[in-house]
Amino acid sequence: MVIIKKKFLLLFILVIACFTGFVSFANQKEPEAIKQNNFSKKMVAELKNKAKTYSEEDFQEGNVPLNEFICINGQIIKSDSKEETIKKGDRFMLLSGDSRYQVINEQEELLRIGDNVTVYGEYYGFLKGTFIEQGE
């Protein structure tokens, strides 16, 4: 009987130790997730601050330097995607003013044809859409 009580006591101590270790581990992961979220917000703010806006004429006349971070507003009118939704890696056409711009979606958030968006990203003759903000 004493041996059985000792086994239960050891088992109980082992379970408590495992639970305490798990809770401690979980608490360490949460601040890292918060840091990553803040980092993302910081990167978006830096990208928005760094991005320049150019006129349609600047694009037409080739006055936008390659590898420049730019910002452009418009409506998604067409996509290579066979579905209504536009996923990461899909290419779409953005209508801004009277001009059309080719954009490669580099973000995880899904977009749809007809969405009004502001695209922030690097210009290569087409736009690599690093951050795409949906409008109303």
**What is the 8-class DSSP label of residue 107?**
S
Q: Is the dihedral of CA 51, 54, 59, 65 positive or negative?
A: negative
Which of 19-23, 49-53, 59-63, 108-112 comes out lowest in average pLDDT? 19-23
Q: Band the pLDDT of 94: cuts 50, 70, 90.
A: very high
Partners of residue 73 on adjacent β-strands: 118
pLDDT band at 90 (very low <50, low <70, confident <90, very high): very high
Number of domain units in the chain:
2
128 lies in the same domain as 61: yes
Mean per-residue pLDDT over the chain, rounded: 82
Q: What is the pLDDT of residues 11-40, one digit of tens each?
A: 666 666 655 554 455 455 545 444 445 558
Same-domain pairing of 124 and 81: yes
Band of the pLDDT at 57, cuts 50, 70, 90?
very high
Q: Residue 18's domain spans which residues?
A: 1-50
Considering the domain architecture, whether residues 70 and 5 belong to the same structural domain is answered as no
Long-range contacts, 77-85 (Cβ 8 Å, 24+): 77/113, 77/114, 78/113, 79/113, 84/112, 84/113, 85/110, 85/111, 85/112
Share of the chain above pLDDT 70, in %: 71
As a whole number of angstroms, the distance between CA 66 and CA 50 comes to 15
How many residues make up the chain in this entry? Answer: 136
Shared-domain flag, residues 66 and 128: yes
CB 89 within 8 A of CB 108: no
- Tens of pLDDT along 65-81? 999 999 999 999 999 98
